[in-house]
Amino acid sequence: MIKEKPYRSGETVAGAERSGNRGYLYALGLGPEDLEKPFIGIVNSWSGIHPGHVHLRELAAAVSEGVLAAGGRPFEFNTIAICDGITQGHSGMRFVLPSRELIVDSIEVMVQAHHFDGLVFLAGCDKIVPAMARAAGRLDIPCVFVTGGPARPGFYKGKDYAGYQIREASAKVLSGEISEAEYDEMEQSACSGPGSCPMMGTANTMSCLMEPLGLALPGCGTVHATEAKKLRMAHQSGELVMDLVRKGRCPKDYITRETFLNTLKVDMAIGGSTNSAIHLPAIASEFGIELTKDDFEDASLATPQLANVRPSGKYTLWELDQAGGVPAVMAELGESHLDLDLECVTGQSWREVLQGIHSRDTDVLTTTAAPLHEQGSLCILKGNLAPEGAVIKQSAVHPDMMVHTGPARPFDSEEDAIAAIRAGRIQKGDVIVIRYEGPQGGPGMREMLSATTTLVGSGLGTTTALITDGRFSGSTRGPCVGHVSPEAFAGGPIGLVEEGDMITLDIPGRRLSVDVSDEELERRRARFQLPASKRELCDSPYLQRYSRSVTSVWKGAVLK
């Protein structure tokens, strides 16, 4: 009988009254000596339908070996993982952002029920990484992240491709620019195998940001899914979590508001996804920290973009990793931009970690003396069309569209807008408005990737703007404004826009406005009614509950 155990799991296994509990653990094939060890939960989001996660069982095995080698007892359990790429352009995308809430809640339930002493998180893609980061803050027990890593680039006719480029090419099939046979070959070549999409989309943005946030080993975010180094880092992470457990070192002991401000600046420097403006505030809230749109804007104005990586640059994540990855980004930013006395997951200061590190390829990873862009990748817009704010990846916008005024072409769904683009009803200079796609109104805040790639593939990506209360894939490029808030369903001005209203997008001026007087907007508000198609939400009980409980996107779209 185990009389005492100086860890959280002691509540599960120690004492005469816990004999039944121990019996069930013995039924797993464990021995008494195993029950004396720290219990480490390996939170695995492996999924057989998700290419970004299909390899995680192998990484979990390496983590287990590391835990065992360091004297712990690993227990692997699963949570869900939706592939954004497979859900694009149809109703399935409504469930993607809401899945973040299920993931963090499911982890809390498993960890608190079984009293794990430490955790290793395994995830690689868009909502799963931030959900697990939220769990790290909520649970506040020793933990380490192992991110799944990017996929190697795919190749077609000697040119490397990513998934978003296939979508853009679909419009070229309709125009006859490429044949169906060429398109078939392209789509079978572009995605090379396991791993997250090989560009700075949401998956790789959030994976990279786990490093400055202090949850993943330095360098882990850009090490590719198929590299042996990823297995070594998984083993090392298993050993590290045991060290953290023995020291009692928990995330809230060292992750502070200043840590999040560092992370925002790294986000801007790597050309991060607009979705980080949803996920970072949500993660921060679990740490008792508030991140606002002004924090994003301040970071953008103060931080140059250094990573010349797609979709707002030239290269893939493979080249960024070869250039030094996130540690090299942080080293190039240096103490003039970052607080290097903050700690990484190992307990070392970033000043110690970054000694001797620098960019190994200044075309892929530029320097602060000659940055890719003088400002960070994201830009926060305000105005009478977005009183609470909106976001755009300014580094992915053609110079001719940094300031643009054009007539509004409003649509009440992504499908309606795509149909209009494909039918040739959108002209150069138009401003497409897609509304009722926010967290409440969607419900679920779909990504508008199918709309943006159709726009780019139709040759309108440098002449036509798109604004929405929905959001975008991290692979989106062009004058595309998302997160317009308040959303239309909640009574936001975007729901009052009418055909032909003149809309101005002014990125240098940080402004998004419609040329309609306040008095006219109030008249429209007085007679406003939800479209018939939006008066009853979808038939999903989960999404109905989500719609009733979700907060504003600028509060992280978390549930009340």
Q: Which residues contact 350 (CB under 8 A, 6 or more apart)?
A: 212, 262, 330, 338, 339, 340, 341, 342, 343, 344
pLDDT above 80 for 159 = no
Backbone angles phi, psi at 396, to 5 degrees: -105, 15
CA distances from 64 to 21, 24, 41, 73, 97 (A): 22, 21, 10, 8, 30
Q: What is the residue-averaged pLDDT of the chain?
A: 95
SS (H, E, C) 52-68: CCCCHHHHHHHHHHHHH
Tell me the DSSP string of 253-266.
GT--HHHHHHHHHH
Q: Could you give the percent of the chain with pLDDT greater than 90?
A: 85
pLDDT above 90 for 119 = yes
Q: Could you tell me if 32 and 59 lie in one domain?
A: no
Backbone angles phi, psi at 147, to 5 degrees: -85, 145
What is the SS3 assignment for 133? helix
Please give the pLDDT value at position 184: 85
The DSSP letter of residue 147 is: E
Active site residue 336: no
Over residues 424-443, the mean pLDDT reads 96
Please give the pLDDT value at position 401: 95
Summarised one tens digit per residue, pLDDT across range 375-392 is 999 999 999 999 999 999
Question: Which region among 38-47, 57-66, 86-95, 512-521 has the lowest average model confidence (pLDDT)?
Answer: 86-95
* Cβ–Cβ < 8 Å for 545, 443: no
Q: Could you tell me if 86 and 219 lie in one domain?
A: yes
Q: Could you tell me if 442 and 415 lie in one domain?
A: yes
Confidence of residue 459 (pLDDT cuts 50, 70, 90): confident
- Beta strands (DSSP E) in 401-479 are 403-411, 431-434, 465-468
- Beta strands (DSSP E) in 394-464 are 403-411, 431-434
Q: Could you tell me if 9 and 107 lie in one domain?
A: no
Q: Could you tell me if 33 and 51 lie in one domain?
A: no
Tokens describing residue 316: 């893939």
Please give the pLDDT value at position 188: 85
Domain that holds residue 245: 38-153+192-353
CA 396 to chain centroid: 17
Number of domains in the chain: 3
Over residues 407-411, the mean pLDDT reads 98
pLDDT above 80 for 475 = no
pTM: 0.95
**Cα 260 to Cα 265: distance, rounded to the nearest angstrom:** 9
Closest listed residue to residue 550, CA positions, set 99, 109, 111, 133: 99
Backbone angles phi, psi at 21, to 5 degrees: -60, -45
Q: Could you tell me if 410 and 526 lie in one domain?
A: yes
432/461: higher pLDDT = 432
Is the peptide bond prior to 531 cis by the omega test (within 30 degrees of 0)?
no
Q: Could you tell me if 88 and 127 lie in one domain?
A: yes
In a domain, 358, yes or no: no
Please tell me which residue in 473, 513, 547, 552 is annotated as part of the active site: 473
Tokens describing residue 557: 């779209």
Please give the pLDDT value at position 520: 97
* Cβ–Cβ < 8 Å for 215, 251: yes
In a domain, 228, yes or no: yes
* Cβ–Cβ < 8 Å for 94, 82: no
Q: Strand 159-161 relative to strand 154-156: parallel, antiparallel, unpaired?
A: antiparallel
- Please identify, among 353, 388, 422, the residue that sits at the C-terminal boundary of a domain: 353
Q: Cβ–Cβ contacts within 10 Å for residue 31, how many?
A: 9
Tokens describing residue 459: 């040759």
Helices (H), 355-458: 414-422, 449-457
pLDDT above 80 for 558 = yes
In a domain, 224, yes or no: yes
In a domain, 158, yes or no: no
Please give the pLDDT value at position 457: 79
- Please identify, among 285, 319, 353, the residue that sits at the C-terminal boundary of a domain: 353
In a domain, 186, yes or no: no
Summarised one tens digit per residue, pLDDT across range 235-291 is 999 999 999 999 999 999 999 999 999 999 999 999 999 999 999 999 999 999 999
Q: Could you tell me if 11 and 42 lie in one domain?
A: no
Summarised one tens digit per residue, pLDDT across range 298-311 is 999 999 999 999 98
Please give the pLDDT value at position 55: 97
Q: Could you tell me if 517 and 406 lie in one domain?
A: yes
Q: Considering Cα of 48, then 54, then 58, then 61, what sign does the dihedral take? A: negative
**Cα 141 to Cα 512: distance, rounded to the nearest angstrom:** 43
Over residues 415-420, the mean pLDDT reads 95
In a domain, 239, yes or no: yes
In a domain, 177, yes or no: no
Tokens describing residue 246: 């023995």
pLDDT above 70 for 330 = yes
Q: Which residues contact 363 (CB under 8 A, 6 or more apart)?
A: 308, 314, 315
Please give the pLDDT value at position 164: 67
Q: Could you tell me if 324 and 449 lie in one domain?
A: no
Please give the pLDDT value at position 386: 97
In a domain, 366, yes or no: no
Over residues 53-82, the mean pLDDT reads 98
What CATH number did the domain enclosing 538 receive? 3.50.30.80
What CATH number did the domain enclosing 286 receive? 3.40.50.2300
Closest listed residue to residue 77, CA positions, set 34, 31, 32, 108: 108
Please give the pLDDT value at position 537: 72
Q: Could you tell me if 86 and 33 lie in one domain?
A: no
Q: Could you tell me if 334 and 421 lie in one domain?
A: no
pLDDT above 90 for 157 = no
Q: Strand 73-78 relative to strand 39-44: parallel, antiparallel, unpaired?
A: parallel
Please give the pLDDT value at position 532: 85
Please give the pLDDT value at position 266: 98
